[in-house]
Structure 1
Amino acid sequence: MGNEALKNKEYQKAADLYGEAIAIDNGNAVYRCNKSAALMKLNKPDKAGHEAYVATCLDATYAKAWSCLGMAFLEMGLAKRAKLAYENALAMAGNDATVNMREGLKAARDEITRSIRAINDEKDKEKQHLLRNKFLDQDWDIYGKMVQLHSLVHERQVDGLLLFARRMKWPYMKEVRDTAEDVYSNMRGGAIINIHLHDWLYGMMLPGKWFAFKIKAALVLCSPTVKAQMGVSPYFDCGVVLPTRSYWRVRTVLGRVLGLGCLPGVVSLCGWIGPCPTVTFVPSTAADKADVKADVSPCYARIKARHIAHYGMPQMRSTEEIEPYMEEIRDASNWIVPEPPVRDMSTCDTTTIELKALPLERMRRNGPRGARWPTRT
């Protein structure tokens, strides 16, 4: 029935009938090829090319399928690929090659010649560059194929992650080693991993704060004990709170205080400092006491700090003159000189970090699991 509809120029009906036949016999190359011919008549070269390509995969010796593929490529403006398809069609057909195959090959070659001439004759350098790229892109034949991306740096990235975990005294070091060494091969085998861990394995991250975010995200994602509970940090400047220690971003206010060298054993690496003392969350209201437990579970903590502008100099009033104003601010007697603190000779130990949770109930309800929302010391 499909052949009869195609013969009677009922191309949409023919395409539908061949589609029904393909649903019954999915591996029939003839049905695919005939559907491709019907779709070409309907001016749908992209869909026609797909059906013809599948037909060549089902039967690589099917000359008519190669010819249909060449016709679709030529209609889509892919003369190089059309030329290869027609050459395969003629090679498979041998003495049974049709006039359409020979004319199609000639048309593809003529189109290639015209494209080269158009590139050489174009005077505008930008347009010439675009034409040349479009022409050369046809050599990258990924039509109907699966693109696979291989990381050339995954071993280096895993080694860097393990070194970071060891230097920072990450408590789940064994888990990280067992997971990180197999995560790339597991991913290549079909396992689905978090996009941040994927970026780390491929070395795809921006420098600065985003590098610090990615390496800590990869570290948490390679630690099954805390992965399910913590997930990925909702902000790049969140600290990591664990039951026995904590880690903080160097550029946060708490990180600057703890990173002054006053804590023994604390290391600053890749934008992080740690291991720092444990954290105790202090409820800000009576209603928050139920949320604060004696044992701190793994979570993220974001420090709320007041922003102080760098341009906080006294401003001249509109009624003041510039000369008296400049003379007044240059007079040292008008300024209060800060006095340095008295040096304390006693010894103290930092045993814990107390953070007071801000009453942001809405943010806490809507936030990701494992995130403790903006807190302050």
Structure 2
Amino acid sequence: MTEIRVLSDEAQFRTHTAVFRRAMHMPIPNDEQWQVVLPSYEPDRVLAAFDGDEMIGTTQSYGSSLVVPGGAVVPHAAISRVGVRADYTRRGVLTALMREQLETLPDPVATLRASEGRIYGRFGYGLAGRWRSVEIDAKRAVVAGEMVGRVRMIDADTADKLLPELHEAIGLTRPGQIGRWTGWWARERDRKSHAENSVTVVHSGPHGDDGFLTYKVTEEKEFKHRMSIEDMVWANDDAWRDLWIYASRLDLVDQIEADIALDAPVSWLFEDPRVVHTKDVFDEIWLRLVDVERMLQARTYGASEPVVIEVRDRLLPANNGSYRVSPGGAERVDAPADFAIPVDLLGAVYFGDTTFSQLAATKRITGSRFGQADALFAVPQKPLCGTFF
């Protein structure tokens, strides 16, 4: 029989890492590497499945924060290190882990990055945000005009201290963005230490530092060079534009690759928009509404007639019920619903990456008044997290 336990000490954490990495076909860290991994563990947020005394499955969460449509910031759990030992798969181990984690989370919402797209819908996670992977022909990328601020290069030690402070000062503005916890920055330092030619530049405007860019340049065949943008954060349009000017004018760079929001106007920066080529659109945010009522009340809504939505949640039955959503907010009601929706698909429409009408067209949901629901949940910006965990 599978037993779920909360882990609290270093020896258990190290076994947890080994089980997870074996499940992901990744190497197990040696003693030196483990000292870098250890700070990323948060006591009381680490769960493991056991068969007797043998650890057979893992998951954990990080305490963070999340921006929702309208700009409110709510407590958030970043879910990571989910894995089941290969000789215990398809025996209900993952279901037991997910159920225990969701029932005990202190946060009203959780997100994760899915290794496979079919796994997490049955646990109530919906595909709520995607990014666009672009490639830019740097040799033909011309931005009219000059920078309005200044960009300076900083060393790794300065970056380790400054970037967490600057990220916190800039704050979270776009729906889908999350706060970065101490352990995240520790792992980021480790990733940068192993990245060849990792470089960080900071942008300064009239009121001081207001953005940064981390990238690396690699040499390809025939002395061609590719810039990979790893992290880009900005407080305003001037900082965003200046950082792109810096990237596109860097000497000895032929191609630039980056992951950006679906609606990011990068093409419009350049005199020839064809220098920006979309290579792929890929899922980023998988959203789980842990407390449906609280999360519906946290965001804002557009102008439309109210709709009543029946929510169905197999793992967290406290969420089951009907909710009236109007321009003034949301509330639980005892009233006939215009349509019913499983909690994973409610997560999918929560940030506005997809719509109720699109789901209805695929027969994933049935009912009426989807147009009004679309108007209520409409957003001015597509979601983007931009923080990998």
Q: TM-score of the superposition, structure 1-length normalised?
A: 0.22
- Pick the structure with more helix per residue: 1
- Pick the structure with more strand per residue: 2
More contact order relative to length (CA 8 Å, sep ≥ 6)? 2
Q: TM-score of the superposition, structure 2-length normalised?
A: 0.21
- Report which of the two structures shows the higher radius of gyration computed on alpha carbons: 1
